[in-house]
Structure 1
Amino acid sequence: MIKVSILYPFREGGRFDSEYYATHHMPLAARLFGDACKGWSIDIGINAGPPGTPPPYVAIGHFLFETLDAFYEVFKQHNKTLVDDIPNYFDGGNGTILISEIKVSV
């Protein structure tokens, strides 16, 4: 199983609309990815550990795919639509993508 994570860095005074991200952008991506997407979730950053410290990331979106090829196949078809939607919820660029292999799931 492959997890594709998009990490949005925290920036003092930056804008991230978590409501839009949760109710519009992520469901749009999941719909476009279709059956290739095996699940998705969102993490909203709270802090960096010590109370009162800003989180390193304001949000992280996760998608699950069986294989890396399955992700690439659907992403290249819908990349423009998804990237064009980013300014609707985030004013700090495109975020950073991390692709990882899930070894253990409980």
Structure 2
Amino acid sequence: MIKVSISYFRSDDGCFDHDYYLSTHIPMVKEVLGDVCVRCEIDKGMFGAKSEQQAEVVAAVQLYVTSVDDFNEKFSVAQKAIIRDIKNYTNIMPSMQFSEVVSL
């Protein structure tokens, strides 16, 4: 299994609409991926190492997918629409990372 992490790092002028992200954007992404997406987790940053520190990551999504190839095949179909939708919930440039999931 592969984990696709998409993170939004805090910036001084950054804004993020968590409600839109949860109710509209992520459901759109999950619909596009279909059964390739085995599991989806959303992170909403709370605070840093100490409760008085701001979280470095405002929001993130972890998409657990069957394979990189499967993800790329499904994502490529609607990539432009998904990217176009980003402006509806944030002005922060997302960071994407693929990881191999290892269970202990």
Q: Which bracket does the TM-score occupy, shorter chain normalised?
A: over 0.9
Q: Identify unmatched segments of 5+ residues in structure 1.
A: none
2:36 matched to which residue of 1?
36
Residue type at the aligned position of 1:61:
V
Equivalent runs, 1:1-106 vs 2, <5 Å? 1-93=1-93, 95-104=94-103
TM-score with structure 1 length normalisation? Answer: 0.92
Q: Identify unmatched segments of 5+ residues in structure 2.
A: none
SS in 1 for 2:92: coil
Output the CA distance in 2 between the equivalents of 1:78 and 1:40: 18
TM-align CA RMSD: 1.2
Output the CA distance in 2 between the equivalents of 1:45 and 1:58: 5
Output the CA distance in 2 between the equivalents of 1:25 and 1:14: 18
Output the CA distance in 1 between the equivalents of 2:47 and 2:60: 13
Output the CA distance in 1 between the equivalents of 2:67 and 2:92: 29
Q: Report how far residue 12 of structure 1 moved.
A: 2.8
Output the CA distance in 2 between the equivalents of 1:33 and 1:78: 9
Output the CA distance in 2 between the equivalents of 1:86 and 1:21: 9
Q: Report how far residue 22 of structure 1 moved.
A: 0.5
TM-score with structure 2 length normalisation? Answer: 0.94
